[in-house]
Structure 1
């Protein structure tokens, strides 16, 4: 068991505990501690940061204000809670792009693409959004176009719902504190209670579906990688025009993608545990 960091003990780096620098800069250390804390929690209150750092609220506010100025945190105007900013998620995505897990998973995407002749995506959870990080587009004339590089609300995508199903109710509550969800079409889930009901179905059958929730006339089936694998919360989907995605086809794709994801997960490193 790794020891949790505290306000009085500097957090260890990713390679483990290291020697304290000869001339430590407390303000820099505090800012880095806040970023590490964001790795454990999706949102932070000012009092959380103050207690974690062991400093006055005014000092914690100055640290957060500087991180917000540089885009590493953002503040929800309604709740006043702080979450990861675009600079932080951008840096994380840039680092992930250098990892070879996409190269490792590419043959599995190609296998699904060949088997079904439809568009296949690899995505990762980024807060309440799904970022599409790899894709192979269907060769058919009528097809779902690649969404590579796009970010869409997790609640309106099959990959997002598959990934949300792996989270605890408390974690999902932190993403959707007011019970209302952002939607993309008239078919999108709009209430957290409705999402929770869908998530129970996802857990029961082992895959998630999206029928016209992110785009009209488009249906997708997705399976999430086990949360124990690194380097991120990942999922794969198969996307097709809705007239080629019958309920029977949906079940068949779901079973196939589950088997492929289980096989591919064996090649990914295990995520660190506390």
Structure 2
């Protein structure tokens, strides 16, 4: 009698599309990084079918694509499954000490967030001690395309996955500076990939500027992102460079400590 991967009997009425998706998930879990050609051969499907399957996994957070190598790795939804199974990565707990040091170094409000569909969900914050400061967004969501941290995380996806994620175009503008055209957003995310960080100049809230970077683990994939936000009155090109350098150092420190 034919059996599955865990010696369970094959269902009487198997669904081929579901089987392919689950097989692909197992491939990602086992190999940790795959190319489109690897998936096509492993599943015995055409290139367009393999690409569509991967695009949906990226859209749902089960895979991320490296913008340079174009290979795919497990995405943050794998961590969600791990939590359900008891294999937890306490991201907030791991990041919190680094977040505290980042806030002290920059003197501004710093956030930890995760990408949920096309939104950023803010998980933790250290507020600036300055009288004029950016307030906490912890526990709140914002449209990813209008935030620096969201742009940094969206930039880990390729253009095809982004078009799938925004089938009706980008949402309505939050301010007069918010990007409202998908092609313009794609162009901006290419610049984010090139420079390695996202920028926000009053796009989600007038008078607020920020920079953000994605936290991408070599094995776990996209875990989230970090940002530094400040009132526009305290922002300049030189200040932005300092904040970006601090964010990059923080990410490097975090990645060294996450198995």
- The equivalent residue for 2:47 is none
Structure 1: which 4+ aligned runs deviate by more than 6 Å?
24-27, 32-35, 37-40
**CA shift in 2, pair 1:18/1:146, >3 Å:** same
Q: Distance in 1 between matches of 2:12 and 2:178?
A: 48
**CA shift in 2, pair 1:33/1:244, >3 Å:** farther
SS of the equivalent of 2:226 reads strand
Q: Distance in 2 between matches of 1:119 and 1:93?
A: 31
Task: Decide whether the 8 Å contact of 2:201 with 2:209 is kept in 1.
Answer: yes
State which of 3, 6, 10 in structure 2 corresponds to 1:18.
Answer: 6
TM-score (norm 1): 0.64
* Structure possessing the higher relative contact order (Cα contacts under 8 Å, 6 or more residues apart): 2
SS of the equivalent of 1:225 reads strand
Q: Distance in 2 between matches of 1:142 and 1:35?
A: 50
1:65-91 C-alpha deviation (Å, 9 max, x unpaired): xxxxxxxxxxxxxxxxxx86xxxx9x9
SS of the equivalent of 1:226 reads strand
- The equivalent residue for 2:157 is 167
- The equivalent residue for 1:189 is 179
State which of 134, 151, 154 in structure 2 corresponds to 1:144.
Answer: 134
Task: Decide whether the 8 Å contact of 1:181 with 1:189 is kept in 2.
Answer: no
SS of the equivalent of 1:132 reads strand
Instruction: Note the C-alpha offset of 1:171.
Output: 0.8
Q: Distance in 2 between matches of 1:170 and 1:235?
A: 22
Summarize the alignment of residues 1-274 of structure 1 with structure 2, pairs less than 5 Å apart. Answer: 17-20=5-8, 92=80, 95=83, 99-226=89-216, 228-230=218-220, 232-269=222-259
Which ranges in structure 1 are unaligned for 5 or more consecutive residues?
Answer: 1-7, 11-16, 41-51, 53-82, 270-274
SS of the equivalent of 2:257 reads coil
Q: Distance in 2 between matches of 1:149 and 1:93?
A: 21
Instruction: Note the C-alpha offset of 1:200.
Output: 2.1
Instruction: Note the C-alpha offset of 1:217.
Output: 0.6
Instruction: Note the C-alpha offset of 1:226.
Output: 2.1
Task: Decide whether the 8 Å contact of 2:214 with 2:222 is kept in 1.
Answer: no
SS of the equivalent of 1:233 reads strand
Which ranges in structure 2 are unaligned for 5 or more consecutive residues?
Answer: 29-42, 44-58, 61-76
**CA shift in 2, pair 1:20/1:94, >3 Å:** closer
Q: What's the Cα RMSD here?
A: 3.5
**CA shift in 2, pair 1:18/1:128, >3 Å:** same
**CA shift in 2, pair 1:19/1:200, >3 Å:** same
Q: Distance in 2 between matches of 1:261 and 1:135?
A: 16
Instruction: Note the C-alpha offset of 1:146.
Output: 0.6
